[in-house]
Each structure stands twice: as C-alpha cells, then as structure tokens.
Amino acid sequence: MKDKKETIRRWAYLRQTSIEIATPIYDMANGDYYTMHRIWQNPTDTEQQQILAQAWELANSSIQTLYWRWNNTFEKTTTTTTTGNNNATK
C-alpha cells in the first residue's frame, strides 16, 4: 500500500484539487475512497467549513488560493475566515 502522502498527492492531482484540501478530505473519510469522492463531489456545509479551516491551517503562509476542482477557488482573506468563489473561471 502507498504511503498516505503519496495517496493524497495522486488523489488531489487527478481531481485538480489542492493537497491542503485533499488532506482533510482524506482524514475526514478515514482514507475510504468512496467517502472521499462523496465529500469532494458534494460536501455538506459543515464538512466544507471544517475542510477549509483545516486546509488553511496546513497551507503555507504564501499560498493565497486553494482549489477544490480547478474552477472552484477559495481565496485567503485577511481574517481567519475564508470565502468560496463557486463561480470562478480560469
């Protein structure tokens, strides 16, 4: 079995999602791929809030944007809260 970091890296790459977001999804799903996909595809509001809070804690301070799919970005704000831009285009 692959190590956790490599599994998350590949999973995130295939879904065009930031590793900082993929890691809390993996942890929330206890590594279960079906649950990971469900959370990634259609998270509850609570799941999304928890994932984003953890993702920003994991993110390097120089990172300003996290991706949940290539067209769903979350920008770093000056406060501890984050905002989702669900209509972002690239």
Please, which pLDDT band fits residue 85 given cuts at 50, 70 and 90?
low
| DSSP string covering 19-47 | HHHHHHHHHHTTT-HHHHHHHHHS--HHH
CA angle (63 as vertex; 59, 69 as ends), nearest 5: 80
9 is a domain residue = yes
54 is a domain residue = yes
Contact 85, 67 (CB under 8 A): no
46 is a domain residue = yes
72 is a domain residue = yes
In the chain, how many domains are there? 1
20 is a domain residue = yes
60 is a domain residue = yes
19 is a domain residue = yes
Please, which pLDDT band fits residue 2 given cuts at 50, 70 and 90?
low
90 is a domain residue = no
Range of the domain at 76: 4-85
The structure tokens listed for 57 are 């804690």
For residue range 33-83, list pLDDT tens digits in order: 999 999 999 999 999 999 999 999 999 999 999 999 878 889 987 544 444
Q: What is the pTM of this model?
A: 0.79
For 75, half-sphere exposure in the C-beta direction (CA atoms, 13 angstrom radius) is 6
Determine the pLDDT at residue 72: 87
